Structure 1
Amino acid sequence: MLSDTAVAAPPPTGPGRRRRRWMAAAAVIAALLVAGGIVLAVRDVAPTSVNPPDFIAGPDPSTSSTSATRAPTASASGTASATAPATPSASASVAPGDALYVAPGNRQGSCREDDPCTVGRAFADLRDHPDSASGILLTAGDYGVLEIAASSVTEDGRVLIGVADGADVSIDRLNVLSPNTTWTGITVTGVLYLRPSAVGTILDGVTVEQGGLFVRSGDTVVRNSVFRDGSSLDGIQIGNGASGVRIENNVIRDYNQQGDTQYHSDCIQVFDASDVTIVGNRIANCSNAGIILSHGSGKGIDGLVIESNWVQGCVVRGDACRGGSALDIRESSAVGMVVRNNTVLNGSVRIGTQPDAVFDRNIIDYLSSCDSAMTNTIVQRWNPGLCSQPDALGSNGNRMGEVPVADAVAGDLTPTDPASVLISPVGGEPAAAGIDGSPLPADVAGASAG
């Protein structure tokens, strides 16, 4: 028998350095009539800034190196004044005519628009009769902490979940254990957690505010979504065995270091993961790093591709963003890594010494080391106190140069002078497409030809 039960969610458990600061909440238990294993936890069970159980804070690199590009001053509140790019649009949607409609709480309706049912009832109906509806639409209300159990969808099925037209839907946290779910148009204010059993999850046109996404699942796609305004946690964290993950065409920005925990804030952190692709994203203003690779439990990072992204460090330096790295890929356990056609500004780039790594056709604002290996790359600045010129400049297609962009503060890194991104390439192939989806010529560095 499948049940929907409203209970207080248990606090995260597990190893590591995490704080256990949980609010007392009364457990509310109500037996319901349908089958499904969906758990709806009551609102305000725990602070939304608390990190999930197996959160791993990566290394906190020195922030002494700074970009020579002068960043604008922080606002009086200490928050970034940069304007975020436009929200990407989702490519998936639920057809309202034959959808199942759900509402928070213990409603025993028939899943029609004028008589919504519980989340568990809708999942059970689609699990048992997969062709009976186009998907599930959430009607207005406060869903609190929503957990989708592993038994909710069959291995060969798929359920599309969206928001009813015009509905004001509130989700404090979303914890997905079920495989093969597609989420579109939802907003989560807090943590969105994809557990290892949530294989085949697709997040398309999702917004996560004041929290982050933690990916532990395989064959997962995150696209056309926005992650913003978190404190002392990552925008997207991929680790603990996650495999086959694609992060595409998202905005990840404005994660500060002002939360209750001591965890550092990265836009994207990767550890203990394989076959991860990060492509076509707009990343900015995360206090510790734009993209960082971490050691985790030492299982390594295998087959990471970082292509055609706009990556910025702290565009606005202040209490909200203290000046970390824009890109830190020094983790020695990374094998088979390709970093190609990215534009990386407003922060230092830290390149490792992995022997099989490809670092090709990138634009770098500030290079932190003089012996970094690279090809066909444009470097704007480095620390002249370490060397008169980085070893790689002047060979293998690398050169020094300035690349003016449209509006770094607003996150628009389109080059205003197309000639400034041209290179004389020596070997290698460009990324298949730039950040706008158009083909990239072989003689262009960075994520856009202008």
Structure 2
Amino acid sequence: MDGRGAECTRRDPCSNWNAALRAARPGDVVNVLPGHHGSQKLRKADAKPVGSAPVLFRGAGTGSTRVGQLDVEVPETTFASLQVTSEVRVRRTASGTTLSMLQVNGIVDLEADRSALLDSRVAPPADRDAVQVRSGAADVAIRGNVIGPGPRTGANHVDCVQVSWASRLQITGNTLYRCATQSLHLKPDRGDVVDVLVQGNAIQGCVPRSDACNGYNAFDVRTAGHDIRDIRVIGNTVHGGVTFDDVPGLVLQRNLMNDHPGCLVGSTDNVFGRGGCDRPEANAVRSVRFVAPDADPPDLRAVPECACAGYGAR
């Protein structure tokens, strides 16, 4: 696809992504040639059947393949090796959508079941949450991404990843850093947040407090107007403040945090940078320092003096 033809073939490439989707069979690859392709909306009228092999839209050739806004209504599509300069929105109808190896200079909204954001870089503009998971999305994966930093102006709320209504969500192996309010924010503002795995992530809050950073929390799990339960936080490294409400089914294990999350029933076998409970607990308190916390992105490996091997992200 480069804008010259009408047949959406190698000999006669087209510019219309919906035409390419109509021409593709389940499992086909649509090669998107370098250049700026404007904003693209994949309409549900051109959708393949739910459950069919995904159609792959892939940046091809040498040079950058750029899109303004990518608005996805259709199910069973994968988008790979593209640069997005505004926004990616995976709507509720777009089940089975995968975003892979994208460079997003903007935001990502995941509203669909079986949607995934993989191995991508998301750098949000000021005053926007980088990634939102909402609208009751289920079976969602956010894995292997670098997300942040996220500055703010005034009193705006800015998160790297905000989860407000989702179930069976996996947030694994990401670097989430320096977003002005929280870098990871789980709070059921819009609907239930149930069955979430947070594992192997490096999570950093923003410091010091400034106009661009309220210096609040790196990571929080909060109650709100809907149900939140069964949150498993395993093997993460957290640099910055943490606030965890003691929600049903909350598990914290083998995390490395320079703060203390409070006296939580499900908190065992972690390393914290300071004490926080009067009663005995099955966690260690040590001096927690990191290799290069000020780098961009940060290197949150613990320094050897911590003796923290086996804890935190690897």
TM-score (ref. length: structure 2): 0.90
Secondary structure in 2 matching 1:153? coil
* 1:400 correspondence with 2:280: no
The residue aligned with 1:425 is none
Q: SS of the residue aligned with 1:366?
A: coil
Quote the residue 2:312 is aligned against: 446
| Structure 1 residues 368 and 359: alpha-carbon distance in aligned structure 2, compared to 1, 3 A threshold | closer
Match for residue 138 of structure 1?
32
- Percent identity reads 27
Aligned-residue Cα RMSD (Å) equals 2.1
Q: What secondary structure, in the 3-state scheme, does the structure 2 residue paired with 1:325 have?
A: coil
The structure-2 alpha-carbon separation of the partners of 1:318 and 1:198, relative to structure 1 and needing over 3 Å to count, comes to same
User: 1:124 corresponds to which letter in structure 2?
Assistant: R
Does the 8 Å contact 1:315/1:408 carry over to 2? no
Bigger drift between 336-345 and 411-420 goes to 411-420
The residue number in structure 2 matching 1:344 is 238
Displacement after TM superposition at 1:153 (Å): 2.3
Per-residue deviation at 1:323?
Answer: 1.0
Counterpart of 1:319 in structure 2 is 211
1:335 deviates by 1.1
- Look up the equivalent residue of 1:447 and give its one-letter code: A
Deviation at 1:316, TM superposition (A): 5.7
Aligned residue identity for 2:98:
I
1:253 corresponds to 2:148: yes
* CA distance in 1: counterparts of 2:156 and 2:84, whole angstroms: 21
Larger relative contact order (CA 8 Å, sep ≥ 6): 1
How many residues of Structure 1 are paired with residues of Structure 2 in the alignment?
306
| CA–CA distance in structure 1, aligned partners of residues 35 and 306 of structure 2 | 52
Q: 1:169 to 1:316 in 2, by over 3 A?
A: farther
Q: What is the CA-CA distance between 1:123 and the residue it aligns to?
A: 1.1
Shift of 1:169: 2.8
SS in 1 for 2:273: strand
Q: Which residue of 18, 21, 27 corresponds with 1:120? A: 18
Residue aligning to 1:55? none
Structure 1, unmatched stretches of 5+, are 1-101, 383-388, 423-443
Q: 1:264 aligns with which of 149, 157, 165?
A: 157
Residue equivalent to 2:2: 103
- State the match for 2:93 in structure 1: 197
Q: Which has the higher strand share?
A: 2
Equivalent runs, 1:385-424 vs 2, <5 Å: 389-391=276-278, 394-396=280-282, 398-410=283-295, 411-417=298-304, 420-421=307-308
Residue 263 to residue 147, structure 1, CA distance change in 2 (3 Å): farther
CA, structure 1 residues 368+447, in 2 after alignment: closer, same or farther (shift >3 Å)? closer
Q: What secondary structure is seen at the aligned counterpart in 1 of 2:294?
A: coil
1:404/1:417 contact within 8 Å kept:
no
Aligned to 1:242: 137
- Tell me, yes or no, if the aligned pair for 2:18 and 2:43 is still in contact at 8 Å: no
Residue aligning to 1:3: none
Residue in structure 2 matched with residue 178 of structure 1 by the alignment: 74
The residue type paired with residue 56 of structure 2 is L
Aligned partner of 2:184: which letter?
A: I
Letter in 2 for 1:357: L
In 1: Cα distance, 2:305 partner to 2:139 partner: 35
Instruction: Determine if contact 1:285/1:316 at 8 Å carries over to the other structure.
Output: no
Q: 1:245/1:418 Cα in 2 relative to 1: closer, same or farther (>3 Å)? A: farther
- Which residue pairs with 1:300 in the alignment? 192
User: Does the aligned pair in 1 maintain the 2:137–2:166 contact within 8 Å?
Assistant: yes
Report the equivalent of 2:248: 355
For residues 78-102 of structure 1, the C-alpha deviation after alignment (integer angstroms, 9 at most, x for no partner) is xxxxxxxxxxxxxxxxxxxxxxxx1
Unaligned residue ranges in structure 2 (runs of 5+): none
Is the Cα–Cα contact under 8 Å of residues 284 and 315 in structure 1 kept in the other structure?
A: no
Q: Write the distance in 1 (CA, Å) between the matches of 2:85 and 2:18.
A: 22
Per the normalisation by structure 1, the TM-score is 0.64
Distance change in 2, residues 1:181/1:391 (3 Å)? farther
